[in-house]
Amino acid sequence: MASSSRVFSANLRKLSNFPIRRSLPEIPLTSRFFSVKSLFGSLRLNTNFRKFEYRTRASMAEIVTPQSKGKVQVFDAEDELAVSLAKYTADLANNFSKERDSFTVVLSGGSLIKSLRKLVEPPYIDSVDWSKWHVFWVDERVVPKDHPDSNYFLAYNAFLSKIPIPSGNVYAINDALAAEAAADDYETCLRHLVKSKIINQSEITQLPKFDLMLLGMGPDGHVASLFPSHPLVHENTKWVTCIKDSPKPPSERISFTLPVINSSAYIALVIAGASKANAVHAALGPDPSSDSLPVQMVSPEGELTWFLDMGAASKL
Ligand SMILES: O=C(O)[C@H](O)[C@@H](O)[C@H](O)[C@H](O)COP(=O)(O)O
């Protein structure tokens, strides 16, 4: 077993962005919590090694959890979360655009779209090569595209209409079809794009491997339109499915299935507000609930990063 100080140092090394890391002394771990204050901020360690946080004076703390749970970042305010999310997304977009000449990004609905607002401001509005972007939806409500409930409508108004993305690179779900047909139609579209190599394919699952999925989470722990205790959570044949009894209105929706979500190269879970604190705690707290919430089943082939504000992280 690793010694206390080795675990401590290993966790410390993960906080590579912070200059303080080199100047911190090795500290005897005698109490359950201790903290170190410095010019740069403060460090707090829970000595059962479940949790380790570094808080900068500016705004962000990072919680190191078991690797399977991903990287967890907590921001003092949603505005700071939005700044960091914009940089994270722009950096990935630039890397993928260089590497494979395209960037496939999947949006959800809800408050996530508002949290993307800093991406359409300088410097990113000018520095990102938007022509390489291909935009998809992890879920959509079965309503016309100009309906206030439409995830496309939301994303178009707040994001897509503000960036110079070719219209052919925006893959909206067909609103002229009923739920099942729209799900099948979207899956066919994805299969075509995997074949033509616009979307990568996972070598492990052979499923589409999107470069980045930007997911929100509901207060009940749902992601996409996959709700707790609903059989759709276990759908593992289809790529895209539909739900007609969604507990969150509107009741008819189209959704990616979990295997497709989990084949992603990167997933960002973007969660703000105290109403989400219980579900965040269930997923990241010391005693994960045994009844897995959909958010707990998010476990990408690549990297998972949580963007939380203080409200969402308040029960951790
Ligand atoms: O269409 C939808 O309803 C969404 O895609 C859904 O999965 C959403 O992301 C969460 O419900 C969080 O929504 P809020 O961030 O608005 O709470």
Atom of ligand 1 nearest to the CA of 271: 15
Phi-psi region of 21 (alpha: psi -120 to 50; beta: other; left: phi over 0): alpha
pLDDT confidence of residue 61: 84
Report residue 244 CA to chain centroid gap: 25
ipTM score for this prediction: 0.98
- What's the DSSP call for residue 234? G
Could you say which architecture CATH assigns to the domain 71-309?
A: 3-Layer(aba) Sandwich (3.40)
Q: How far is CA 227 from CA 171, 218, 238, 241, in A?
A: 24, 9, 17, 13
pLDDT of residue 287: 74
- Where does CATH 3.40.50.1360 sit in the chain? 71-309
pLDDT at 69: 84
The pLDDT value recorded for residue 289 is 64
Q: Are the CB atoms for 27 and 34 separated by under 8 Å?
A: yes
81: nearest Cα among 58, 55, 115, 113 = 115
Task: Please give the pLDDT value at position 62.
Answer: 84
Q: End-to-end distance of the chain based on CA atoms, in angstroms?
A: 26
Q: What residues contact residue 248 under an 8 Å CB cut-off, 6+ apart?
A: 218, 222, 225, 227
Q: In sequence order, what are the beta bridge partners of 307?
A: 73, 270
Distance 287 CA to ligand 1 centre (A): 25
243, amino acid identity: I
Quote the tokens at residue 107.
Answer: 């949006």
If you take atom 16 of ligand 1, which residue's CA is the nearest one?
110
**Per-residue pLDDT, 65:** 73
Of ligand 1's listed atoms, the one at least distance from the Cα of 276 is 17
Helix (H) or strand (E) holding 53: strand 52-56
Q: Whose Cα sits closest to atom 13 in ligand 1?
A: 110
- Partnered with residue 271 across adjacent β-strands are 308
pLDDT at 66 (0 to 100): 73
Can you give the pLDDT at residue 60? Answer: 83
Tokens at 91, concatenated = 């950096």
Pick from 248, 276, 295 the residue to mutate for probing ligand 1's pocket: most ligand atoms within 8 Å of its CB. Answer: 248
Kindly give the confidence (pLDDT) of every residue in the chain, 316 residues in length, as a single tens digit, with 9 standing for 90 and above.
333 333 223 333 333 332 222 223 333 332 233 333 333 343 444 333 344 444 444 478 887 677 778 999 999 999 999 999 999 999 999 999 999 999 999 999 999 999 999 999 999 999 999 999 999 999 999 999 999 999 999 999 999 999 999 999 999 999 999 999 999 999 999 999 999 999 999 999 999 999 999 999 999 999 999 999 999 999 999 999 999 999 999 999 999 999 999 999 999 999 999 999 999 999 998 876 666 899 999 999 999 999 999 999 999 9
Mutate to test the pocket of ligand 1, among 81, 217, 258 (most ligand atoms within 8 A of CB): 217
Predicted confidence at residue 288, as pLDDT, reads 64
Q: What pLDDT does 76 receive?
A: 95
* C-alpha 49 to ligand 1 mean position (Å): 32
Do 33 and 26 contact (CB within 8 A), yes or no? no
DSSP one-letter string for 136-200: EESEEESS-TTSTT-HHHHHHHHTGGGS---GGGB-PPPTTS-HHHHHHHHHHHHHHHHHTTSSE
**Cis omega before residue 25 (within 30°)?**
no
